[in-house]
Amino acid sequence: MNIYGIIDSNNCLIDISKSEQGTKRYATKNGYNKIGYRNVNSYNATISHEKVGSKWIEYCEHSFIDDDNDGIYGSSSCRYCGAKED
């Protein structure tokens, strides 16, 4: 079972709800833009969603890969969201 919560400015999870929807509602009302979860038997948390504009999107830490295997990561994109590496 997971416990959902908001991610504060120190990147710490603060337990809020047993449901993702309840946590999103709380975060929206109180001005938070990241939510996450942890297993009820653990203190290790994972960021799951981030609010961009008015929509919650799945959080991505940009796992960059070398698209053309040339050893240059400047032309790489994130394997999850397609964002290009700077």
pTM, two decimals, is 0.71
Angle at 45 between CA 1 and CA 41, to 5 degrees: 40
**Element of type H or E holding 56:** strand 55-58
The domain ranges of the chain are 2-58
Rounded Cα distance, 61 and 77, in Å: 12
Q: Are 41 and 32 in contact (CB under 8 A)?
A: no
Query: How does pLDDT run across 42-58, given as a tens digit for each residue?
Result: 999 999 998 888 888 88
Name the H helices within 1-86: 20-30
Rounded Cα distance, 67 and 14, in Å: 37
Query: How does pLDDT run across 53-76, given as a tens digit for each residue?
Result: 888 888 876 555 555 555 555 545
pLDDT value, residue 18: 96
